[in-house]
Homo-oligomer: A and B are copies of this chain.
Amino acid sequence: MENNFPSQEDIIYAHKNISPFIHCTPVLSSSAINEILGLEVVFKCENFQKIGAFKIRGATNAVLKLSDEEKKQGIATHSSGNHAQAIAYSAKVNNIPAYIVMPKNAPKVKVNAVKGYGAKVIMCEPNLQAREDGLNKVVEETGARFIHPYNDYDIITGQATAAKELIEQTDTLGFIMAPVGGGGLLAGSALSSHYFSSNTKIIAGEPAGADDAFQSFNAGHLIPSNKPNTIADGLLTSVGEKNFPIIQQFVQDIITVSDEEIISAMKLIWERMKIIVEPSSAVPFASLIKIKGELQGRKVGIILSGGNVDLGKLPF
């Protein structure tokens, strides 16, 4: 490839390396859902993944690629979500220090989970500037390596292994659908589809309340999110600079859905599949429901990105 995108070999190598540290998650289907949609859908259950989300794939890959010297210094990130847990867990498993800058308003359950993995948590004001300042300070003081949640080729390569696994676990898929926030999972899925199942098209689902990927995709250049607001709290971030060219080249389409459509799709998954997914996970399925008429007769694989949801605060 005439660019510096992760290669087919990079993804194969990453998958081999991270396999001892992650689950090969099951692929499930529901005849009731197939009947309702009038097409065949399979779900790659990354909600069953370690730490409850696909993020552990990228974090593990990034940690395993560190030199021994870098490992001694540790790793750092800022996040209030699944990436924080993924970094903390990978650090624990590999016995290296981790420093996580978290906003003061992060749910206590998430802060405790990160602390439970032995990471050092640095609290900051709940805004991007404070998070970046906090991160820069800890990196300066400790020499820890900052691992970006999505704008990083090692992360994209790690996330790519979910779609690679899905492709290996099923018959040929007409489409793979994934959510898009920063674009780590989407860019990775697009690369895996290109390398391992070149006839499979990639379609992204995005919340209408955080539709910077949709806007950017159609404009042909990056347009950052402006006051994103959606129940899909894992998809609030804007697409990364490294992710966007991969998405432009290998993604077929981006479909946006309202929060109502996301909640309704989420409920359908809970009720019919009997599995727990977080709102962000339901975004590609909500998108599929919206465009199902155009995909008749094709087999669709959906990556369910995670299942970390506060059971006391369900939207239904």
Q: List residues of A whose CB falls within 8 A of some B CB.
A: 26, 28, 31, 45, 47-48, 50, 52, 267, 270-271, 273-277, 307, 311-312, 314, 316
Asked whether B316 lies within 8 Å of A311 as measured between CB atoms, the reply is: yes
Cα separation A3 to B270 with both chains bound (whole Å): 44
Interface of A is mostly: mixed
**Which residue of the partner chain B has the closest CB to A45?**
B274
> Are B50 and A31 in touch, CB under 8 angstroms?
yes
- Inter-chain CA distance A316–B47, complex, in Å, is 21
CA A195 to CA B314, docked complex, whole Å = 44
Query: Across the interface, do A274 and B26 meet the contact criterion of CB distance under 8 Å?
Result: no
Copies in the complex: 2
* Residue among A48, A271, A273, A274 having the largest count of chain B Cβ atoms under 10 Å: A274
B270 touches A311 (CB 8 A): yes
Q: A47 contacts B274, CB within 8 Å?
A: yes
The 4 A-B pairs of least Cβ separation, nearest first, read A274-B307, A274-B276, A47-B274, A275-B275
- Per the bound structure, the CA–CA distance linking A4 and B50 in Å amounts to 47
- Which residues from chain B contact A28 at a C-beta distance below 8 Å? 26, 48
A45 to B273, CA, bound (A): 11
- 24 A-B pairs with CB atoms under 8 Å apart are A26-B26, A26-B28, A28-B48, A31-B50, A45-B274, A47-B274, A48-B273, A48-B274, A52-B274, A267-B311, A270-B276, A270-B311, A271-B311, A274-B275, A274-B276, A274-B277, A274-B307, A275-B275, A275-B276, A276-B276, A311-B314, A311-B316, A312-B316, A314-B314
The minimal Cβ–Cβ distance linking A50 to chain B, given in whole angstroms, is 7
Name the residue of chain B whose CB is nearest to the CB of A316.
Answer: B311
Q: Closest approach, in angstroms, between the C-beta of A116 and any C-beta of chain B?
A: 11
CB distance from A305 to the nearest CB of B (A): 12
The answer for the CA separation of A274 and B309 in the assembled complex, in Å, is 9
